[in-house]
Amino acid sequence: MVAILNSGDTAWMLISSALVILMTIPGLALFYGGLIKRENVLNTIFLSLVTFAVVSILWFIFGYDMAFGADMWGFIGALKNPFFNGVLESKALSTLAPSIPESLFAVFQMTFAAITVALISGSVVERMKFSAWLAFIPVWLILVYLPVAHWVWGGGWLAQMGVLDFAGGTVVHVNCGLAALALVMLLGARKDTKLLPHHLGYSVIGLGLLWFGWFGFNAGSALGATDLAVTAFIVTNTSAAAGMLGWMLMDKIETGKPTLLGALSGAVAGLAAITPASGYVNVSAAIIIGFIASILGYYAVSHLKPRFGYDDTLDVFGIHGISGICGTIAAGVFASPFINEAISGGLLYGNLSQLGVQVLAVAVIGCYAFIMTYIIGKVIDKTIGLRVSDEMEIQGLDINLHEESGYRF
User: What was the pLDDT predicted at 3?
Assistant: 80
Average pLDDT over residues 386-407: 96
The pLDDT tens digits of the residues spanning 106-165 come to 999 999 999 999 999 999 999 999 999 999 999 999 999 999 999 999 999 999 999 999
pTM as predicted: 0.97
Task: Give the Cα separation of 366 and 74 in Å (integer).
Answer: 18
- Give the integer Cα–Cα distance in Å for 151 and 165: 11
Residue 67 lies in a domain: yes
Report yes or no on 2 lying in a domain: no
Number of domains in the chain: 1
Beta bridge partners of 72: 76
Residues above pLDDT 70, as percent of the chain: 99
Closest CA to 387 of 160, 131, 154: 131
- Distance (Å, rounded) from C-alpha 135 to C-alpha 138? 6
Domain presence at residue 1: no
* pLDDT above 60 (res 1): no
Q: Tell me the mean pLDDT in the region 166-194.
A: 97
Identify the domain containing residue 344 by its residue range. 7-402
Average pLDDT over residues 360-369: 98
The answer to whether residue 75 is domain-embedded is: yes
Instruction: Give residue 363's pLDDT.
Output: 98
Which pLDDT score is estimated for 185?
97
Examine residue 283 and state whether it is found in any structural domain, yes or no.
Answer: yes
Question: Is 407 contained in some domain?
Answer: no
**CATH number reported for the structural domain that contains residue 356 in this entry:** 1.10.3430.10
Q: How far is CA 83 from CA 60, 139, 272, 328, in A?
A: 5, 18, 32, 33
- pLDDT above 70 (res 59): yes
Residue 408 covered by a domain:
no
pLDDT per residue as tens digits for the range 69-95: 999 999 999 999 999 999 999 999 999
Q: How many CA atoms lie within 13 A of 265 on its CB side?
A: 31
Q: Is residue 409 part of a domain?
A: no
pLDDT band at 408 (very low <50, low <70, confident <90, very high): confident
